[in-house]
Chain A
Amino acid sequence: EAGVTQFPSHSVIEKGQTVTLRCDPISGHDNLYWYRRVMGKEIKFLLHFVKESKQDESGMPNNRFLAERTGGTYSTLKVQPAELEDSGVYFCASRGLGPTDTQYFGPGTRLTVL
């Protein structure tokens, strides 16, 4: 069974540009989470999808971030326009429906905004 995949693995963009990150969860996992780790800080929650619905987006930093999960399969996280402070590693995780099911993390996308 394939794990969580993310694309791209690295992205270097200039301030003001747009970047779209993609996450493909484990097949059959309805729960999909986005997290971010900025340099020197702990991993922080961004948002949570259940199927195609946003369950909790309390961690989204501001309206420059837009997440979608069309059809309840893969998810995209768009940053527009990117700012320097958006640099970090963006992780996606997916989880099954059981209350104690594990969150499995993808390899992450390292975003550098210059």
Chain B
Amino acid sequence: QKEVEQNSGPLSVPEGAIASLNCTYSDRGSQSFFWYRQYSGKSPELIMSIYSNGDKEDGRFTAQLNKASQYVSLLIRDSQPSDSATYLCAVSLREYGNKLVFGAGTILRVKS
């Protein structure tokens, strides 16, 4: 079992729709959870971080965390073609120096 699992996609949504990206993790001790966006040939860019159960909203993005289910998700509202990228879920533990453990990423394609 991989430590962080994501559906590789591609996930295709029409422009203006809600894109829903999901991630599960295996280490119950994980404390910090991140969504990074990576355009082809570029470096990962932090979109959202979440540390406690519930929802966290930032503009068109909402991260949701459920530690009991070991599940974290990212919702993108009013999806735009510029949102087309690979979305990486990552988790970390402070006791391990906050090193990030990444999923393989979900490819999102927003069609105009």
Spot the interface stretch: B45-53, B60-68, B71-79: B45-53
**A-side interface size class:** 20 to 34
B43 A100 Cβ-Cβ under 8 A: no
Expressed in whole angstroms, the Cα–Cα distance for A102 and B46 within the complex equals 8
The answer to whether the Cβ of B102 comes within 8 Å of any Cβ in the partner chain is: yes
B94 A33 Cβ-Cβ under 8 A: no
Residues of B in contact, count (CB < 8 Å) = 23
If A41-B104, A42-B104, A43-B88 touch, whether A99 touches B98 (CB-CB below 8 Å) is yes
B49 A31 Cβ-Cβ under 8 A: no
Q: Mark B77-95, 1 if CB is under 8 A from A, else 0.
A: 0000000000010000010
Expressed in whole angstroms, the Cα–Cα distance for A11 and B65 within the complex equals 39
The answer to whether the Cβ of A60 comes within 8 Å of any Cβ in the partner chain is: no
A35 B97 Cβ-Cβ under 8 A: no
Within the complex, what minimum Cβ distance (angstroms) separates B90 from chain A? 8
Residues of A within 8 A of B (CB): 31, 33, 35, 41-45, 48, 50, 55-56, 59, 91, 93, 95, 99-100, 102-108
Apart from A42-B102, A42-B103, list 11 A-B contacts with CB within 8 A: A35-B100, A42-B2, A48-B97, A50-B97, A91-B44, A99-B94, A100-B51, A102-B46, A102-B49, A104-B46, A105-B45
